[in-house]
Amino acid sequence: MAAFKLPSRFFGDVDSVSKFGILSLALASTTLLVFVTANLLNRFTGTKLILVAGDKQGESYIISKAIEEVVERKSNIQIEVIATGGTTENLEKLQKGEADLATAQADVITEEINTIRNRNPQLSEPRLQVAERSVVVLYKDLFQLVVRDPKIQTFVQLKGKTIALPAKGGQYESFEQVARHFGLNAKDLKITGLDSNGKPNAAYTDESADKDFLNNKADALFRVRALGNKSISKLVQKSSGRLVAIEQAEAMKILYPALESATIPKGSYRGNLPIPETNISTVAVSRLLLASDKVDIDVIREITQIIFENRREIANAISPNNPEVKPLVSTISQPNTTISPGFPPLHPGAIAFYQQNEPSFIQENADYLALLLTLALLIFSWLRQIKIWIESRKKNEADEYIESTIKLMNKSLGDVDFRQQLLDEAFNAAAKALIHERISQESFRTFNEAYKTTRETLEREAKFEQEKIEQKNRELAAKSIKEVVELLNYDMEDKDLLQQKIDATLREVAQKLIADEISEESFRTFIEAYKTTRDAIERN
C-alpha cells in the first residue's frame, strides 16, 4: 500500500469526492493485484491435498491411487493417498482437518448425519455441521456374507456363531446395521475383532479375519466390498465357504436410506461348479469420494472434471494385478442427493462442475462411446485374429505344396517321367487352391519358385538320362558295326556262311531297335555298314 503515493499538490487540486474515488480505485486495484498474484502463485506452486482411502487391498484405495496419478498428470494439484482403517477413521480425519479428501461408505455417513441431527433436532438440513461434502460416487459396495456351515442359510442363523470381522470402520458399522435389522445384538454374536473385554482390537485387520476363517476359527466372514473382490474370491475358492443372501434391503432402507437392494449373480466367483450356485440377494451401498468443506471450490471443480473426463486413463492407471477393479471406474457417477437423501450435500466445487454449460456430446455419452470403442477394438482384434488364422491356414497349405514339390527332386521316388507327372499334378492342385482362395497370391508365388526350381532339376536329370541312353545306343551300334565290319577279315571262301552271319547281326540290331536299346540314327549308321560289308562279300 505504501508504494502507491500521490503528490500532495495533486490532492490540493481536486475536490473531496474525487479524492475518495481515487483512493477507492487505488485500493480496489491493489486488492485485485494481490488476488491475481495469489492465484498465479497457487497455480504455479500447486495445491497439496491428503486423501484417506481405507485399506491398501481395498478397491477404494486402489482407485484413489489411480485418481492421484491422473490428477497430478493433468493439473498442478498434488494428492497424497494414505491407507486407513476404513470409513469411520476417514470421516474422523476429515472432521479434524487431518485430511482434505476421503472415501467413505454412504450408509456410515448417513449414520453420522443422523447422529448430529438427533443431538441437535433444532438444526435444519442446510445447517448440519458436517465437514464432508460429496464429490463423486466411485462405485457400489456389496454386503457379502461368507459362511462355512451348510446349515446357515439366512443371516438370522448367525446367532451364536463366530464372525470374522474387524470391529472398527464402516464395514463393522454396516454389519451392526444388518444385525439390528434382524434383531441380533452383541450378545448374540461373537466378533473376532473384539478382545476379551469386548473392545475393538486395533491390530485386528481384514487379513486377520481371512486367516481366522481359513483356519476354522470363525463360522462366517462379513465384507463390504465390490463384486468380484479378490480377497473374497480367494476365500470361497480356497475353503468350503459359500455366499449367503442378505435379504430385505428395501426394508432396511427405511432406517438407512443410503442402502440399496442388489444381486450377486450366479458364478460371480467361479464359473465351473458356480459360486454362488444361484443369483442371491444382498445389500449395496455407494462408495463416495468426499471433500472437506474447507477445500477451495476451484480445486474440487478441477478434480471432479478430471475424474469424469479421464475415466479411461484412471482405469489404465490401475495395476494389472487388480483387473477386477478396472471395470468399477466406468461406474463413477454424480451423487444424486434427491434419490439418496443419506448422501451429504454436494461440495460447491462439484456443483460448479455439474451445473456448468451443457456437456459436449462426447462428455455426455462418454460411457457409451467408451463401450462402443471397446467393442470396436474387440471386433477389430477378432477380425485381425481370424485373418491371421486364415492366412496361417493358407500358408500351411501352401507349405504342403512347396514341401511336396521339393521332395520330387529325390530320385528314390521313381523315374524322372513319373516325378514330372507328380510335379504337374502339384502345380494344378496349387493353382486350384489359389483360385478358391485357400492359399494367397504371395504363397503361390513362393510355391511357383519352388516349382520352377524342381522342374529345372528334373529337366536336367532327364537330359542326363537321355544322354546316357544315347551313349549306350551309340556303344551298342558301334559294337554291332564292328562285328559286321570284322567279317571282312575272315578268310572264308563260303560267301553264304558270311552272309548268314551278317544277316544274323542285322536281326539282332533290329531287335535292339524295336526294344529301344539303340536309336534310329544308330540303326541307320549300322545299315550303312551292313550294306557296305554285304556288297564287299558279294564282290569277293
pLDDT digits (tens, 9 = 90+) for 89-102: 998 999 899 999 99
Residue with cell 485430511: 99
DSSP assigned state of 344: P
Helix or strand holding residue 217 (H, E): none
Q: Pick from 378, 374, 433: which is nearest to 401 by CA?
A: 433
Tell me the C-alpha distance between 519 and 473, whole Å.
Answer: 6
Say which range, 28-32, 381-385, 452-456, has the weakest mean pLDDT. 28-32
Number of Cβ within 10 Å of residue 454's Cβ equals 23
pLDDT value of position 266: 92
The CA distance from 252 to 248, in Å, is: 6
* 194-229 confidence digits (pLDDT tens): 988 889 998 899 899 999 999 999 999 999 988 888
Dihedrals phi, psi of 51, to nearest 5 degrees: -115, 115
Q: Is 96 exposed, middle or buried (0-12, 13-18, 19+ CB in 10 A)?
A: exposed
The 10s digit of each residue's pLDDT in 246-276 is 999 999 988 888 888 999 999 888 888 888 9
Q: What is the pTM of this model?
A: 0.53
Average pLDDT over residues 53-74: 92
User: Residue 163 above 80 pLDDT?
Assistant: yes
Residue 185 clears pLDDT 80, i.e. is over it: yes
Contact 143, 63 (CB under 8 A): no
pLDDT at 136 over 90: yes
Number of CB atoms found within 10 A of residue 283's CB: 28
Torsion of CA 51, 54, 57, 62, to 10 degrees: -30
Mean pLDDT value of segment 320-334:
88
The pLDDT confidence band at residue 176, using thresholds 50, 70 and 90, is very high
pLDDT value at 312 more than 90: yes
Average pLDDT over residues 510-514: 79
Task: pLDDT band for 507, please (50, 70, 90 cuts).
Answer: confident
Say which residue the cell 478396472 belongs to.
Answer: 326
Amino acid identity at 201: N
Do residues 146 and 233 make contact, with C-beta atoms less than 8 angstroms apart? no
Mean residue pLDDT of the chain comes to: 81
Q: Is the pLDDT of residue 146 over 70?
A: yes
Q: Name the more confident of 327 and 365.
A: 327
Backbone phi, then psi, for 387, in 5-degree steps?
-60, -45
Rounded Cα gap, residues 337 and 126, in angstroms: 13
The dihedrals phi and psi of 281, each to the nearest 5 degrees, come to -80, 150
How many percent of the chain have pLDDT more than 70? 83
Distance CA 107, CA 340 (A): 10
